[in-house]
Amino acid sequence: MRRIKFKGYGVVLPKNTVSFKEHIRYRISEGETQLQLAVAACEKALKNSNISINDIDCIVSASAVGVQPIPCMAALIHEKIAKGTSIPALDINTTCTSFITALDTMSYLLEAGRYKRVLIVSCDVASSALNPNQKESFQLFSDGAVAFVVEKSDEEVGIIDSTLKTWSEGAHSTEIRGGLSNFHPKYYSENTKEEYMFDMAGKSILALCIKEIPKMFKEFLENNKMKVSDIDMVVPHQASVAMPIVMQKLGVAKGKFIDEVKEFGNMVSASVPMTLAHGLEQQKIKNGDIILLTGTAAGLTTNMMLIKI
Amino acid sequence: MRRIKFKGYGVVLPKNTVSFKEHIRYRISEGETQLQLAVAACEKALKNSNISINDIDCIVSASAVGVQPIPCMAALIHEKIAKGTSIPALDINTTCTSFITALDTMSYLLEAGRYKRVLIVSCDVASSALNPNQKESFQLFSDGAVAFVVEKSDEEVGIIDSTLKTWSEGAHSTEIRGGLSNFHPKYYSENTKEEYMFDMAGKSILALCIKEIPKMFKEFLENNKMKVSDIDMVVPHQASVAMPIVMQKLGVAKGKFIDEVKEFGNMVSASVPMTLAHGLEQQKIKNGDIILLTGTAAGLTTNMMLIKI
């Protein structure tokens, strides 16, 4: 077990919401930016943890799409919350599951004593690149930011095990192709504009998930000599309205996973930490519980992580 | 010591070169892409290591600017070299020093036994976003890709110590502001085009480096009870023609650091691993040597890493 604990968290949503039937989506409006959301989440997490930025040993931005190509997003967040310090700042990215990957990766540095306490922040504003012609993704995504303070613990709590797999058969099932070296912004035009927007093939992702994830989950549980019923609560990425279907395929009972797709939509990298924060806040997750953080990301990448809270 | 060793590497440069006085710069041309370079470097590294992709436990893309916003660059590389496998793929980013940060971070996972062997690839094509009106950066940058196979070792070799600091006073000294959420490509126009290009204030970066880095280096050596003379070879990021000035401020003697700025320019994230590969190839670095990988990155971020080869 990599002994870590969550000291505190901060969730920040844009003021503006839109609705698609019963589904509520959060979208930034005039004057709100990705960086502002991320910074506000960090500040809230520090306050909620009752610490100051000087108590943080490393700032990790774990978002899918950044603020700008250079510098990395963590450096821009650093400027707003840690200017004048020399706290290291880096980005870790596996798109929608960046938070789990960052937590997974940084837990080794916490365990080894490199850092005592890290701030991990996930923030995406998908709304800035949604394609109105793709109803499925246009009506699914929300914007949001969530930060967690994670620290080394002396107690028997933390990451029991974690696994990460990428099946690149799904590399083009979720894309934004334009904006960086592949399609530079200079090629932007009325004809090419969709290259710079979200492009998601929900059905093919779901098919790949259903083919691969139950196998991966079975193997993961077996490696840990555990059964599905040993998990008190599953905290999944709020990928889509199909998420409960995947949960069913994994044998996770109703009430044993948190589903907030209707209330919040898919917040890209912010979904997993937001669902975790809500679970802790609403006491769906209690001390001593064993939880599973899991999600699929563009790639197609899937993360699974067992945590004793 | 985190016991790791370099099993092999691959360096790939674009065919096309341009010259500014005696300085040679490598630049991709029609038909060459960032992804192609990165993939070729990975293939070369695998071949040079005499292994296949199935011997790799994790693919890490450690580049400054990616191929496209979604998915992460490692997933796109995975598609070309690892399709059909479930090898995990993730991105780690601190701009120019991404390679050192990825090596640093992943060494903990190697040390802990999570992975036995990882492939770290750094590739940037700065030429696709250079500003012809900024002579300094326009004449400095090159394109290139370098991949290293890094594995756990049983011998007394590997990372002696490493440190990473970010001073966000320099957050805007090296930037590409446009292309992601801050300035979406839809705002691209003749008036805004420079927002989507490299913007570098060399002098202010150098001033911040000279203020902070000697202190950081002194402290780092002291923590390791070492003197500058204990280092057999410094492998610096080929930041600019001013790099030797920084080396002098650190007390590194001529001949004790590798300077290839004239021959290769600043290859962004590919510079450090290319300089390391050249050092190994040309036997400037030999078994048993203690080397220092170091560099500054947009942020401003500075990495230092002592390795026993």
Distance CA A290, CA B90 (A): 26
| Cα dihedral B225/B230/B236/B240 (nearest 10) | 100
Res A272: pLDDT: 98
- In degrees and rounded to multiples of 5, residue B267 shows phi and psi of -100, 25
pLDDT 10s digit of each residue in chain B, 309 long?
999 999 999 999 999 999 999 999 999 999 999 999 999 999 999 999 999 999 999 999 999 999 999 999 999 999 999 999 999 999 999 999 999 999 999 999 999 999 999 999 999 999 999 999 999 999 999 999 999 999 999 999 999 999 999 999 999 999 999 999 999 999 999 999 999 999 999 889 989 999 999 999 999 999 999 999 999 999 999 998 989 999 999 999 999 999 999 999 999 999 999 999 999 999 999 999 999 999 999 999 999 999 999
Q: Given an 8 Å threshold on Cβ–Cβ distance, is B87 in contact with A166? A: yes
Q: Inter-chain contact A196–B186, Cβ cutoff 8 Å?
A: yes
Virtual torsion, Cα B170, B174, B177, B181, nearest 10 deg: -60
Nearest-Cα distance to chain A for B303, in Å, is 9
Chain-chain contact of B168 with A69 (C-beta, under 8 angstroms) = no
3-state secondary structure of A169: helix
> CA separation (Å) from B98 to A108, B63, B294, B299?
18, 6, 11, 12
Where do the DSSP E strands lie in chain B?
4-12, 17-20, 23-26, 58-61, 89-93, 117-125, 143-152, 158-166, 174-175, 199-200, 233-236, 290-297, 301-308
ipTM for the predicted complex = 0.97
Does the structure show a pLDDT above 90 at A247? yes
Distance CA B56, CA B42 (A): 11
Percent of chain A with pLDDT over 70: 100
Backbone angles phi, psi at B269, to 5 degrees: -65, -20
CATH architecture of B4-154: 3-Layer(aba) Sandwich (3.40)
Most B CBs within 10 A among A3, A78, A90, hence the mutation to make, goes to A90
Q: Under a CB-based contact definition with an 8 Å cutoff, are residues B128 and B30 in contact?
A: no
Cβ A299–B216 below 8 Å, yes or no? no
Q: Give residue A202's pLDDT.
A: 86
| Chain-chain contact of A59 with B108 (C-beta, under 8 angstroms) | no
**C-beta atoms of A95 and B72 within 8 A:** yes
Cα–Cα distance between B233 and B253 in angstroms, integer? 10
Q: Alpha carbon of B302 to those of A10, B61, B150, B233: distances in Å?
A: 29, 19, 22, 18
Cis-peptide, bond into residue B71, ω within 30° of zero: yes
Distance CA B294, CA B277 (A): 14
Of B34, B65, B75, the CB nearest to A69: B65
CA distance B163 to A114: 9
pLDDT reading at A147 higher than 90: yes
How far apart are the CA of A294 and the nearest CA of chain B, in angstroms?
15
- Interface A-B, measured as beta-carbon pairs within 8 A, has a size of 258
Residues of A in contact with B129 (CB under 8 A): 69, 181, 184
Q: B95 and A297: CB-CB below 8 Å?
A: no
Q: What phi, psi does A37 have (nearest 5°)?
A: -60, -45
Residue B76 to residues A94, A99, A260, B64, B89: CA-CA distances in angstroms? 12, 20, 30, 15, 9
CA nearest to B90, candidates B76, B69, B104 = B76
Task: Identify all chain B residues contacting A176, using CB atoms and an 8 Å cutoff.
Answer: 68-70
Whether residue B75 and residue A299 make contact (CB cut-off 8 A), yes or no, is yes
- Only one residue has tokens 């927002």, namely B195
Q: What is the mean pLDDT of residues A14-36?
A: 96
Instruction: List strand residue ranges (DSSP E) for chain A, in order.
Output: 4-12, 17-20, 23-26, 58-61, 89-93, 117-125, 143-152, 158-166, 174-175, 199-200, 233-236, 290-297, 301-308
Cα four-point dihedral sign B92, A210, A176, A180: positive
Distance from CA of B213 to the nearest CA of A (A): 11
Query: How many alpha carbons fall within 13 Å on the CB side of residue A48?
Result: 22
- The full set of domain ranges for chain B reads 4-154, 160-308
Structure tokens at A59: 């700032």
B204 CA to chain A: closest CA distance, Å? 15
The chain A residue lying nearest B172, using CA atoms, is A71
Average pLDDT value for residue range A125-150: 95
Res B149: pLDDT = 98
Look at A184 and B79 and tell me if their CB atoms are within 8 Å.
Answer: no
Angle at A240 between CA A17 and CA B57, to 5 degrees: 125
pLDDT computed for residue A16 by the predictor: 96
A166 Cβ neighbours under 8 A, 6+ residues apart: A299, A300, A301, A302, B59, B74, B75, B78, B82, B86, B87, B88, B89
Are both A4-154 and A160-308 of the same fold? yes
Strand partners, A304: A163, A294
- Residue of chain B nearest A212, judged by CA positions: B86
Quote the pLDDT of residue A142: 97
The kind and range of the H/E element at A41 are helix A34-49
Closest CA to A122 of A31, A36, A60: A60
B300 prior amide bond cis, ω within 30: yes
pLDDT at A264: 97
Interface test with A, best of B28, B97, B159, B180 (most A CBs within 10 A): B180
The number of beta carbons lying within 10 Å of the beta carbon of residue A249 is 13
Whether residues B91 and A92 touch (CB distance < 8 A) is answered with: yes
Determine the average pLDDT of the residues in A89-98: 98
Is A129 within 8 Å of B166 when comparing Cβ atoms? Answer: no
Residue B27 to residues A84, A137, B18, B143, Cα–Cα distance (Å): 37, 37, 7, 5
Identify all chain B residues contacting A165, using CB atoms and an 8 Å cutoff.
86-88
Local structure of A154: helix, strand or coil: coil
Positive or negative torsion for Cα B184, A263, A174, A71? positive
Which residue, among A86, A172, A187, A220, would best test binding to B if mutated, counting the most B CBs under 10 Å from its CB?
A86
Cβ atoms within 10 Å, residue A83: 13
CATH of domain A160-308: 3.40.47.10
A202 in the Ramachandran plot: left (φ > 0), alpha (ψ -120 to 50) or beta? alpha
A30: phi then psi, degrees, rounded to nearest 5: -35, 125
Average pLDDT, whole number, for chain A?
A: 96
